[in-house]
Every structure is written in structure tokens, then in C-alpha cells.
């Protein structure tokens, strides 16, 4: 399993762009990078997934450099409602759910 | 509406009692999962099931049991053998076990005293 390292917490202000970086030095060739968002006392919600370069959807962008040893989740123009814990996951398509590991995540606090 | 439901939202039990947590999905997903979350921690995988009548242990299966008799249902029993059962339990489902987009239920907060 590829271990991931994220900052424990980050603060930002409304309207700013937030970038959360995740390190995964031991990522395997078949591993994908997935990000989830979790609000208190709720289940996590899938945000975005990628394998290499850049992926963008309606809520976020994911930047993955060529060596794939890190990735950056970018949230444009955050609002107070984006205050949550963000998890970076790395796993391979082996058919085994054991490949997904949720670490402690990054607590993002958006301030007014 | 399609989704995944868990009941009850809060559950209280006395030590030494077994308790079963419900998880139902109407998304027609093949794979289902149970996670445990402790305060300030990430999620840890308890059990998962890729298909009906089949399930596999996750990282912390000791003291738990599951069944998968129907595609839409994946109940979790917390047995008296689980030493620290008080936690937030989350059920999830996905189209297949190699899908990284898992859909989570609202969770059940279990307190054992």
C-alpha cells in the first residue's frame, strides 16, 4: 500500500484558491489518486480522481506531476461551506477494497 | 432517490451485548464496505463484499461479523468480543470493488457503556 502524507490542517479565507498537497512517494504503477471530502458526523464524499497530469471537474482540479510522487487538490474560490476534512487516497485497480486507505486527512478551515 | 441508508443514526448498548447495524443501498452496486472512524482519525476498513454471498476481512475485522445475503443489504454485527466498540460506523458501496468512487451512508454512532 502506498502511504500518503498530508498537512494536518490549513486555514484559508473566503474567495481564495486553496491547494492541498499530498505526498505518496511509494505510489505503484497501477495506483490511482483519489480525494474525498468529509463534513463532521457525515460519510465522506468523492471529489475527484486522477492518474497523471491534470483532471478538472465542476468542484476541483487535481494536479499530478510526471513522477506521481505527490498530488495537489485545488479548490477554487472557497466558501465557508468548504470547511471540512479532505482525504487523499492512493490505490490500485486490483479488485481489492483493501487497496483504499484513509489516513487522517487535512482539516481545512475557511474563515470569513 | 438512489442512495445508501444506515439505521439507526445513534445506538446505545451495554457492554457484553451484540448489536447489528443496518446498511441498505438501492444503487444496484455490487461492492459494499464497512468502515470504522474514531474521533479525529481517518476511516479504517472492517469488512467488504464484492458480490452477494461473499465477503472479505479488512484491516480491523476482529470482533465484527457481516453477511451479504442480498445485493442491497450488508449488515454489520458488533460482537461482545470487540474490545472498543464505541465509534462512528460508516457503510459504503461502489459499482465494483475496483471503483474508487465509493458512496457513503450517513453513519451510525454506536456508544457502548
Tens-digit pLDDT profile for residues B71-111: 999 999 999 889 999 999 999 998 876 677 889 999 999 99
Closest CA to A22 of A68, A75, A91: A68
The strand pairing partners of B26, in sequence order, are none
CB contact under 8 A, B106 and A43: yes
B47: distance to nearest CA of chain A, Å? 9
Round to whole Å and give the CA distance between A52 and A67. Answer: 9
Q: Which residues of A touch B48 (CB under 8 A)?
A: 97-98
CB contact under 8 A, B105 and A43: yes
CB contact under 8 A, B103 and A102: no
Interface of chain A toward chain B, CB-CB under 8 angstroms: 32, 34, 41-46, 49, 87, 89, 91, 93-98, 100-105
A92: distance to nearest CA of chain B, Å? 8
Round to whole Å and give the CA distance between A11 and A108. Answer: 6
Q: Quick: pLDDT tens for A15-53.
A: 999 999 999 998 888 888 999 999 998 999 999 999 999
Q: Quick: pLDDT tens for A57-93.
A: 999 999 999 999 999 999 999 999 999 999 998 886 5
Round to whole Å and give the CA distance between A80 and B78. Answer: 37
Mean predicted confidence (pLDDT) in B54-66:
94
B54: distance to nearest CA of chain A, Å? 13
**Closest-approach residue (CA) in chain A for B32:** A97
* 3-state DSSP of A69-109: CEEEEEECCCCHHHCEEEEEEEECCCCCHHHCCCCCCEEEE
Closest CA to B29 of B76, B89, B72, B91: B72
Query: What is the predicted pLDDT for the residue at A103?
Result: 77
**Segment (H or E) for B55:** strand B54-57
Amino acid at each position: 500500500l502506498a502511504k500518503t502524507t498530508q498537512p494536518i490542517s490549513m486555514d484559508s479565507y473566503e474567495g481564495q484558491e486553496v491547494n492541498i498537497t499530498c505526498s505518496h512517494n511509494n505510489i505503484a504503477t497501477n495506483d490511482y489518486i483519489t480525494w474525498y471530502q468529509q463534513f463532521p458526523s457525515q460519510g465522506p464524499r468523492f471529489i475527484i480522481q486522477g492518474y497523471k497530469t491534470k483532471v478538472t471537474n465542476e468542484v476541483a482540479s487535481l494536479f499530478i506531476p510526471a513522477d506521481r510522487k505527490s498530488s495537489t487538490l485545488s479548490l477554487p474560490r472557497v466558501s465557508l461551506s468548504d470547511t471540512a476534512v479532505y482525504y487523499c487516497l492512493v490505490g490500485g485497480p486490483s479488485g481489492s477494497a483493501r487497496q483504499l486507505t484513509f489516513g487522517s486527512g487535512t482539516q481545512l478551515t475557511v474563515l470569513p | 432517490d438512489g442512495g445508501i441508508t444506515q439505521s439507526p443514526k445513534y445506538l446505545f448498548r451495554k457492554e457484553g451485548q451484540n448489536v447489528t447495524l443496518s446498511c441498505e443501498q438501492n444503487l444496484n452496486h455490487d461492492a459494499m464496505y464497512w468502515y470504522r472512524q474514531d474521533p479525529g482519525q481517518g476511516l479504517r476498513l472492517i469488512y467488504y463484499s464484492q458480490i452477494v454471498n461473499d465477503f472479505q476481512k479488512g484491516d480491523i475485522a476482529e470482533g465484527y461479523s457481516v453477511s451479504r445475503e442480498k445485493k442491497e443489504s450488508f449488515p454489520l454485527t458488533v460482537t461482545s468480543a470487540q474490545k472498543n466498540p464505541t465509534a462512528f460506523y460508516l457503510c459504503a458501496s461502489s459499482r465494483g470493488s475496483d471503483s474508487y468512487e465509493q458512496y457513503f451512508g450517513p453513519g451510525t454512532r454506536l456508544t457502548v457503556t
